[in-house]
Structure formats: C-alpha cells, structure tokens
Structure 1
C-alpha cells in the first residue's frame, strides 16, 4: 500500500501540482497577435482552411502532457508555443496528443500539419521529415536520489534502462551505447521500453528499473518535483530539437518566420519562462531539410 500511495504522489508531481509557474497548469495564458507578413507566407490551402493541426506526444511534463482534469487538453511548453505560432500565422491551432511512435506516420499521411514534440533531428528522420529548430534539449540519465547504483552514461552496461517508444534514446542512443558495451566485453544494456517518458520515471521510483534515459528537460522537471529522483548524468546536452513537417512541406518558411516573430515580440521568451525552461531557448530558428 505504501508503494502505491508513493507512486500516486509521484504521478501527481509529474503533472504539475507543485505551485510555481513551471508547475502551474493555470498560469498566465500567453497569446500572440496575427502578423500579416507571416500570414502571407502560409500556403493558400492552409490559409483557406484556417486551421493548423499540431501533434505532440503525451506524458512529458513540462514540455507536453495531458491536463489532469481529464479534459483531453494538452498543457506545457509545446502546446503554448504551437498555439502562439498559429496566432502569428493567422490560424487556429488544434493540438493533438498521441504516443510518440504515431507522430511520423501521422505527418506523412497528412493527418497532422506539424509536430511540436521536442523531436531530435537525426539523419534517419531527415530522410522522411523536414524540421525547423526551435529549442535546445539533450538527454538525461535519471536515477533514484543519491544514485545508489553509481550509474553514469559510461557505466550503464548490464543495467536495466528505461526509454520511451519512438524516442531518439530508444532508436539511436541506447543501442549505440549498448553495442559499445559489448565491444568492450561487457554485458549489453537492458533496454526497457515504455509508452512515454513519465511511465519510465514511475518505473524507476517503483524499483522495476535501474535508471531512465529521457529528454533532459523532462528529467530536470521530475527531479525538481519528486524527491526520490536525481539527474545522474547527461548526454548530447544542448542539442537542438525541431518542429517536424512532412518532407517537402510548403509550411516550412512560414514556421521559421512565425518563430522569429515570437522571439521578436517576446512571446517565445515568456512561454519558456512560464514553464521554467528559459535555458533551452534559441536565438535563431534554422530549417533542416537535408540528411
């Protein structure tokens, strides 16, 4: 019973009940106004439709996570940025939350217009998507407080490490690090897959795994709000993440211009400050369209 109660408290902490702006889902709603010069860059068919569908994964506070009231609304940095981006483009934004592995197929099929989901820009993804850089991120290695197993990125061999389905940690980082373990004659990393990053964190607290390998802002948020979680190490810290679009999308130029306007008018900085991720901001928003 004590473990069950503890996990409930951890889950509550991860969806934002701690008080400050970074944990307050009801903090100021930050809006932007249409900018005609940006709106003119929006493809005619999208302007006529008047809406933009932005997709993101669920379970990654404070970046993007479902509202705890069960309304289905998405809260966090990415929903706020997506809505403000649509506003400067003169569009209404529909925010959709899915599991991470549904995002790329949804973009390719035209179900979603853009992904605002802290997606790492990898050569493999650039074969099927275009990107516009919009924040810095990186990967964090999370352990129980005090790191009782003394685990670092260099000593994960043989350990049970959690990742989320479809993430760059699952697809690229951990397999490569595990292969290095085996090349050194050490046991492979035991990669444990979870539907989202917060479920991996809950598995860590329950003792089912040794550590988590997840987006650094998510882990920093968890460590700030849950006493039994610590950031033990980092990997690829400071790497840019991108807004994803289907390859060859005609929206790319408008997305870059919209982000530039949000930085100019201060909305970008205010949104990042609201969720306490100011250190992850960019000064310029570079399109990435080639592997």
Structure 2
C-alpha cells in the first residue's frame, strides 16, 4: 500500500495501500485516531448554486446541496498525497480536483490515520476515502485478514494501479534483491496496509520453506517505518511502488534509499464509498472515465511521475 498496496492493502502497496484488511473495523485495526485538517484547493470552484458541470446531476441530492465531497486521506505518501506547507497535494488531490470540475463540487481533504479511514467513512465523517487504498475483496466485504466479518465493507471506484515495492538503505548493505530475501531479517511497514499483509504472506512462505520468519515491525505512520530503515534498525521497508520510487528519488537528495527488485502483487487503488451510496459511486465512475477520455488524467500522472499506474477505464470493485 505503495506504495501496494496502501497505501497493500497496496503502502503508501499507501498497494496502502492502503489485501485482506479489516474494512469496516479499521483496515486491520479499529480506532480512527485524531484527524488533522489539511485544507487544499484541489476542488472545483463550482458550487451547488452552479450546476453547469456536465455530471452535476448525477450526484446525490445531499452532495449537490452541500457543494462539497468530504474526503478522508492519510497525507503521508508522496507523490500520491502529502502535506506541503499545510496544504494536501499530490496525485490524488489533483485527480480529485479534475473530478470536481466534472461534478461541479469541491473535494475537501482531511488527513487522519490510515487504519481509521474506513471506520470514519462508514460513520459518516467522510463521503469518500481517497488515500492510495488498494481495492480488495476483503475490504469490499468488510473482512479481516482471517476472513472474519467485521462490518459492511465499502465499494471502490478504481482509478489507478500499483504494486508493492521493497526499499533499502542506499547502497543496499544487506544485499536484499527481493521480498523473498527478507527471510530471517527485520522489515518495517505501516500498520493496516496491504503491504503489511504482503510481508506477513512472505514470512509464512519463509517458514514453509524451512527458513526463519521475517521480523515485521509495524508503525502507526509510514514516516516511522522509513526512519527505522534509514537508521539500520530494519534492513528494508515495503511500500506502494510509486511511493517507494518517489522516496528513493527525493529523500536526502536521493541518498537515503533505493528500491530493489520489481513491484509485486499489483492491484487497483480505489476511491472508497459507503455501500449504501451507489449513486455517488456511479457518478465518480463516470467522472473518472471523463478525465481519462479528455486527457486530464494522463497530464496529472505525468506531472507527478506516476504514469506507470495509469488505467484505461474506471471500474467499480475491480479488486481481487
């Protein structure tokens, strides 16, 4: 959660990714955590009083009236979403701004803990959650990683794709070349993400092959996981692929980390919507397709160096 999947669960893969995560409970954990307002100006300037946007009439009446779609996010996953001078910026806010122009409403982002986004969405705090969240069947159905039903789940409008990536200290001192090389090692990850589950899956594979398990250190936020790797306390971290690539390019001027191996378990990122709000899901699907067709989508991804995650057409609940 990736950066698969966030944010796995795909990230940061955010590939969160943001699989098999407890959805209606709290993406593996309960508890929403303190929410930090991170205002941005990514939404359309059109409001409910101006319904000339092509897809305005597709929106539910309450959102038309409000003129705003409230978005929950975890703004720690550059280039997907992060804080810059108190403003939430990145791929997701820019895509949301483009969707806002199609729908005639503003997308207003609020940042909070990743593992509380689905809980907050289903409680009505947000209209949607958009945070590099990997669309998985488990999240759709509200299941935890053992298949236990924890809640109603959510619907996803898929708009991007990413896998899980492994990153290490610059120079790769432990000679890690893939996630399979982490058997018997310590790895750092953000809690509640699909890439945390990717590590759990790999650790079981290690023991099944007679090797030592992976010592998985899970942190509340991705910054802590990165710090652990940077200090040498963990030999590697896992994240969404686009997030890991961006981190390797920018952290300490490109001297802190490097990405090793290929991304694995690629899957779709989705905008999470309450299952009772089919009208909103349908409107968002149309809006995503509209920005793909008019070229805005491609321009946004190129701006952030995220072209590898482009899709050709939106889907609802396309995750596995």
TM-score w.r.t. the length of structure 1 is 0.83
Matched with 1:51 is: 68
- CA RMSD, aligned part only? 2.1
TM-superposition CA deviations, 1:68-103 (whole Å, max 9, x none)? x2x3x2111111112221221111221111111111
Structure 1 unaligned spans of 5+: 1-28
Matched with 1:249 is: 277
Aligned-pair distance for 1:62?
Answer: 1.0
Taking the TM superposition and a 5 Å limit, the aligned residue runs for 1:118-129 are 118-127=132-141, 128-129=153-154
Structure 1 contact 141–233 (Cα < 8 Å) conserved? yes
Matched with 1:142 is: 167
Structure 1 contact 107–115 (Cα < 8 Å) conserved? yes
Aligned-pair distance for 1:202?
Answer: 2.3
Give, in whole Å, the separation in 1 of the partners of 2:106 and 2:43.
Answer: 15
Give the helix-richer structure, 1 or 2.
1
Structure 2 contact 75–131 (Cα < 8 Å) conserved? no
Give, in whole Å, the separation in 2 of the partners of 1:65 and 1:147.
Answer: 26
Matched with 1:287 is: 316
Structure 1 contact 60–198 (Cα < 8 Å) conserved? no
Aligned-pair distance for 1:31?
Answer: 6.7
Give, in whole Å, the separation in 2 of the partners of 1:54 and 1:283.
Answer: 24
Structure 2 contact 44–107 (Cα < 8 Å) conserved? no
- Number of residue pairs the alignment of both structures matches: 259
Say if 2:253 is the partner of 1:224: no
Matched with 1:180 is: 205
Aligned-pair distance for 1:111?
Answer: 0.7
Matched with 2:33 is: none
Structure 2 unaligned spans of 5+: 1-41, 142-152
TM-superposition CA deviations, 1:90-137 (whole Å, max 9, x none)? 112211111111111011111111111111112210110101110111
Are the structure 2 counterparts of residues 81 and 220 from structure 1 closer, same or farther at C-alpha, using a change threshold of 3 Å?
A: same
